[in-house]
Amino acid sequence: MKRNMVEILACPMDKHHPLELFECGSDGDKVLEGALYCTECSRFYPIIDEIPVMLPDELRDKEEEMEFLKKNRESLPEKVTGSASPWHL
């Protein structure tokens, strides 16, 4: 995902904008892996292989997101990995 895309993305659940961006891996202006976080509803959306996975709750893959959180727990803030997160560790 190009870093400047965060300026146009909104939470699919409550349409809140802007989202917070947390980078776990980048290459120049591309975010290879990270998370987008909605400060309104406290949901996070993973960025995996440069692609922001922004789906409503009923379409989210909990197993994939748990793997993402475990892999990146050291690089992400508590509000993404903690008990306030829908898929907390």
| Residue tagged 């300026």 (tokens) | 7
In a domain, 76, yes or no: yes
Q: What is the pLDDT of residue 89?
A: 43
Instruction: Give the Cα separation of 85 and 50 in Å (integer).
Output: 22
In a domain, 86, yes or no: no
Q: What percent of the chain has pLDDT over 70?
A: 92
In a domain, 88, yes or no: no
**pLDDT tens readout for residues 42-54:** 999 999 999 999 9
The HSE-up count of residue 71 (CA atoms within 13 Å, CB side) is: 14
Instruction: Give the end-to-end CA distance of the chain in Å, rounded to a whole number.
Output: 25
User: Looking at the 3D structure of the chain, how many domains does it have?
Assistant: 1
Q: What is the pLDDT of residue 82?
A: 81
**pLDDT tens readout for residues 61-82:** 999 999 999 999 999 999 998 8
* Alpha-carbon distances, residue 24 vs 5, 39, 56, 62 (angstroms): 16, 19, 23, 19
In a domain, 47, yes or no: yes
CA 8 from centroid of its chain's CA atoms: 15
